[in-house]
Amino acid sequence: MAKKASSDFAERIKKSYTFSGESVTVGLAMLDGKPVDGALVHLPLRTLNRHGLIAGATGTGKTKSLQALAGALSRSGVPCLLMDIKGDLSGLGAAGETSDGVKKRADLMGLAFKGEAYPVEFLTLSGEKGARLRATVSEFGPVLLGKILELNDAQQSLLAVIMKFCDDQGLLLLDLKDFKKALNFVMNEGKAEFEAEYGKVSTASAGTILRKIVALEEQGADMFFGERSFDVDDLMRLDDNGRGVLSVVRLTDMQNRPVLFSTFMLQLLAEVFEKFPEEGDVERPKLVLFIDEAHLLFNEASKTLVDQVETVIKLIRSRGVGVIFCTQSPDDIPAAVLSQLGMKIQHALRAFTAKDRKAVKTASENFPLSDDYEIDRLITELGIGEALVTCLDEKGRPTPLVHTMMAPPLSRMDVLSDNEIDAIVKQSKLAKKYNEVVDRQSAYEILSKKVEEVEAVQPKSTRSKTAKPEPTVLEKVIESKMARDVGRTVVRELTRGVLGVFGIGGRRRR
């Protein structure tokens, strides 16, 4: 609801949402519940690397807004990566059909509706149809892997030294099977050899790491760790017509595996940060990531992981990459991350309970002050396909809040059939590339053979004798060679980039 009708409203909106550089149209301004002729709302491509939020209650149209924005970016030559938790983004791969409602909305905006199918690539973390997304344990590095496993300092140190040992010995850590074998080896058959070079280690710490690795496997991480590793350059493709390819990660089975989802997202963001060069603000983003059902990234995440996401969000925009979160309520996003989001598309929120009313109040306070609308009231009265919109203009200033009738997506507003998905995957070059089974000789095979050789020459009675377990790494090896190697390992990880804390420097392939 408007506070008061303003005679210059249309001109102010036109001026505020018309930009000198490239932009995409998201809808038509409204006042007093009615569309304002000619007052189109655009978003400048130049500031979409400043991230964004699409929020709203179930059934209010936020997924359609996501589809429309992703389609508009594709038409502008901007490739996108979309996390499809509910399975309803596959429709981007088929042209939308005209209906009376869609035609009426397009006519109000002065837009000619013509259905359009976008170049879509399906990706998967698990058994869904599409090109498999994988990364090796070595590519994660000890620091990020330690963060995912929520290890303490002593356990983190042991993890780093074991990975250093594997590097020195030429033992490839490709999947979790490799790492578990290496961990068992240094605590059993190879313990004497390991301690002679790297110092004593704690059996208790090793046991904790192993249990946490097993817990991660139970969420399906064994399908994610391995080869062939996904190259983020494959997210940057354009089709023959110059449209950005929309890479849709099918994650319908991820709602019960939030740790795996968080693991994937953090690794992906850090990999993109490291690989893309520093460019500052660019005329159009090089890549836009849409994270649907964003609460899954944060609900089960530790404070450490949330801090890491905040760090990436702050820094990755200088690489020309934008991240847009899509969720039901702004409260789903940690305040530190929410404060980094320059673009906001807020669909209706419902206020049935005291908690709902508090969420509405919080959401209304996240917008610029408005003389045109009573924000906290309007946010509960928005119709389906309507939203409150604000963004950053080309000088980085917030635009006035505007009640917007959102433009309809040109793609299908429904899911593709299994046959349609099969047809797209069958034609995919990425699926052929990444779904090939690769099982190089790695730590598991090498150490298994070494153990067999030890067992063949060493009597069982002597093999069973092991040194007494030590309480912690830090207490026992502070003066040892292992401590010095830990220091060198940490320095090496930190020098791999500004985000050295992620432990994802150069790919350690042999």
Residue 477 banded pLDDT, cuts 50, 70, 90: very low
- State whether 108 and 155 are in the same domain: no
- State whether 116 and 161 are in the same domain: no
In-domain check, residue 378:
yes
- State whether 31 and 102 are in the same domain: yes
Question: Sheet holding 246-250: strands in order across?
Answer: 34-44, 23-31, 402-406, 386-390, 343-346, 52-55, 321-327, 287-292, 80-84, 246-250, 120-124, 131-132
Rounded Cα distance, 305 and 147, in Å: 7
Residue 190 contacts by C-beta under 8 Å, 6 or more apart in sequence? 447, 450
In-domain check, residue 69:
yes
The residue that leads in pLDDT, 455 or 370, is 370
The residue that leads in pLDDT, 347 or 438, is 347
Which of 428, 454, 488 terminates a domain? The answer is 428
* CA-to-CA dists, residue 490 to 164, 232, 302, 333, 404, angstroms: 10, 25, 22, 31, 50
The pLDDT > 90 percentage for the chain reads 48
Q: Which domain holds residue 388?
A: 9-133+228-428
The residue that leads in pLDDT, 492 or 42, is 42
- State whether 380 and 251 are in the same domain: yes
Residue 354 contacts by C-beta under 8 Å, 6 or more apart in sequence? none
Rounded Cα distance, 212 and 168, in Å: 25
- State whether 95 and 147 are in the same domain: no
- State whether 265 and 368 are in the same domain: yes
- State whether 340 and 399 are in the same domain: yes
In-domain check, residue 148:
yes
In-domain check, residue 175:
yes
Instruction: Give Dmax over CA atoms of the chain in angstroms.
Output: 94
User: Which of the residue ranges 28-32, 184-188, 217-221, 248-252 has the most confident prediction, judged by mean pLDDT?
Assistant: 28-32
C-alpha of 351 from chain center: 30
> Cβ distance 70 to 413 under 8 Å?
no
In-domain check, residue 435:
no
Q: Is the pLDDT of residue 472 over 90?
A: no
- State whether 40 and 158 are in the same domain: no
> Cβ distance 131 to 435 under 8 Å?
yes
- State whether 399 and 368 are in the same domain: yes
- Domain total in the chain: 2
Which of 428, 461, 490 terminates a domain? The answer is 428
In-domain check, residue 434:
no
Given the structure tokens 């594997």, which residue do they identify? 166
In-domain check, residue 220:
yes
Tokens of 431: 């699926």
- State whether 372 and 234 are in the same domain: yes
The residue that leads in pLDDT, 353 or 260, is 353
- State whether 289 and 344 are in the same domain: yes
Which of 378, 396, 428 terminates a domain? The answer is 428
- Quick one: which H or E segment has residue 26? strand 23-31
Rounded to 5°, the CA angle 183-124-409 comes to 150
C-alpha of 508 from chain center: 22
Q: What is the amino acid identity at position 98?
A: T
- For residue range 280-304, what is the model confidence (pLDDT) as tens digits? 788 999 999 999 888 877 776 667 6
**Where residue 15 sits, what CATH number does that domain have?**
3.40.50.300
- State whether 300 and 276 are in the same domain: yes
In-domain check, residue 507:
no
pLDDT for 409: 95
